[in-house]
Structure formats: C-alpha cells, structure tokens
Amino acid sequence: MNLTELEQTLVLIKPDALKNSLTGYVLSQLSEFHTALRFAGAKIVQVSQMLAEEHYAEHRGKGFYPSLIEYIRGNVHYPNEPDKRRVVAFVYQGPGAIQKIRDIAGPTNPHNARDNKPGCIRALGTIVPIKDEAGNFLGDRMDNLIHASANLGDAEREIKLWFRPVDIPPLMRLYATVKCQEHYYLKNNQLLTSYEQGSLLLVAPGDIVWQSDLEALQLLHKGLPSPCSIQTVAAKYLINESTEND
C-alpha cells in the first residue's frame, strides 16, 4: 500500500457540536460508506490550556485567538459544567482523507458555508459577536462544529499533538515511533530526567513514543535548538492526566 492510501487527517468534534448532539450526525457524514475512510484513532479529550494553545499556535496574536481558545476548551458552551467540557478527536485514514473531510466539513465561516455549500457540516454552525465589557464589538467567533486538518504537514503535526502512538493500532501508524529509554518529567516548564516533587511524568522507559517527540526531548534537555517546544511535546503526554497544570 502506498502513502496516499494511508493518508491520515485529524478531526475534532468541537464543544458546540457536542452541546447540540451533533456527534452522531457528523460521524455518519464521515462514515466509511460515504468517504471510504476508516478510523485509526478515537479519544475524548478535556482540552487543557496548553493543548489549545499548541493546536491553534498559528492564530496566536489574532483578535479572535482568546475566544478561540475558550471555545475549543469548552468554556464557552459549558460555562458552569466543567465536567462536560470536552472534544472528541479522531484520526481518519484512507485515500485523499484530508481533502475529503475538508470538503464534507465545508468553509470555515458558517455563513459562507450556508451560502456556498448548503448541506455541508459547517452550514449548521453559527457566528457569535465578541464584545468587550463596555459592549464594543471586537470581532466574531466562528462556532463551526468540526476541525479537519488542512494539509499533510498540519495533519502530521496535529495527529502527533493529540494522539500518542499507542492510541493508534500498530498497523495503522503512519509516523515513525521509537521505544523510550529514559524518564522525562515536566516541572515549571523545565524538562527533568529524574523525579522531583511536583513534577509530571511525560514518558518513561519502555513507552512507545513518536520518534520526533523523543528527538525533541533529547535536544531540549541538552538546551539545544529543537524543531518544537517543551509545551508541544508535553501537551500530548499530559492529555487527560491532570487539571493542575491548567
């Protein structure tokens, strides 16, 4: 099987879809019958601040960024029910997976989606004006129900951010993995290789990890430049671990 056959994409069912009971609808739109794609991974994630910031790193500094982070964390749709704040994350695999799911999701802006692609998933989304405390209009928040990776590079970054290798069956893993030989802990945004009070375990000897994560941890621990930050690696290995670090 060639790499195009194995193409993978990350799909997130966002908190507005969960709140409106659209999970089943979205999954049926993406079903193997309609798309010829298969699940390679699935998980329910309570989205930490660190994970939200890593996922939407490309939007840091934009006007809508703070509300986007609140939205993906579920704080907007479940302000008083923290236990319901979650996202459902999937890896879909198969020929043309990225473009197929982008097409079914539709345009980013739900109003455009309704106008230009009626019937797509995001046509069921909404736009909410963001205002400051004085009521001044700051911009829009686009509640568009679903995230889908935009291209091969984003798909790799995002799948490695949301999924550990062991969340994906061995024969469905697309990216290189290695067996970890060391402990790595996080404490106050610093990497440690031995336990200190208050540190959080990221990976331990024997864990199967993405090779790129282990290479990054080794470089970062030596204080050398790395293709990604401590937070990028830590965000995933702490998924659903603890809320203390939020």
Catalytic residues: 147
Q: Which residue is closest to ligand ATP by CB? A: 108
Letters for 148-187 (x = contact with Mg ion by CB under 5 A, - = none) are --x-------------------------------------
Within positions 121 to 150, which residues make up the interface with Mg ion, using CB under 5 A? 150
CA-CA distance, 42 to 11, in Å (whole number)? 9
Residue 108 binds to ligand ATP (criterion: CB under 6 A): yes
**CA 104 to CA 43: how far, in whole Å?**
21
99 lies in the site for ligand ATP, by CB under 6 A: no
How far apart are CB 59 and Mg ion at their closest, in Å?
A: 9
Query: Which token pair is 14?
Result: 């966002």
DSSP for 136-164, please give it.
-EEEEEEE-SEEE--SHHHHHHHHHHH--
**Taking the CA of residue 92 as centre, how many other CA atoms within 13 Å lie in the half-sphere pointing to its CB?**
27
Indicate which of Mg ion, ligand ATP, none lies near residue 167 (CB less than 5 to 8 Å, by partner kind).
none
Give the Cα-Cα-Cα angle 70, 164, 14 (nearest 5 degrees).
30
CB nearer to Mg ion: pick between 150 and 201: 150
Q: At 228, is the secondary structure helix, strand, or coil?
A: coil
Instruction: Check residue 57 for interaction with ligand ATP (CB under 6 A).
Output: no
Residues 138-177 that bind ligand ATP (CB under 6 A): 139-142, 144, 147-148, 150
Binding of ligand ATP by 70 (CB under 6 A): no
Minimum CB distance to ligand ATP, residue 13 (Å)? 11
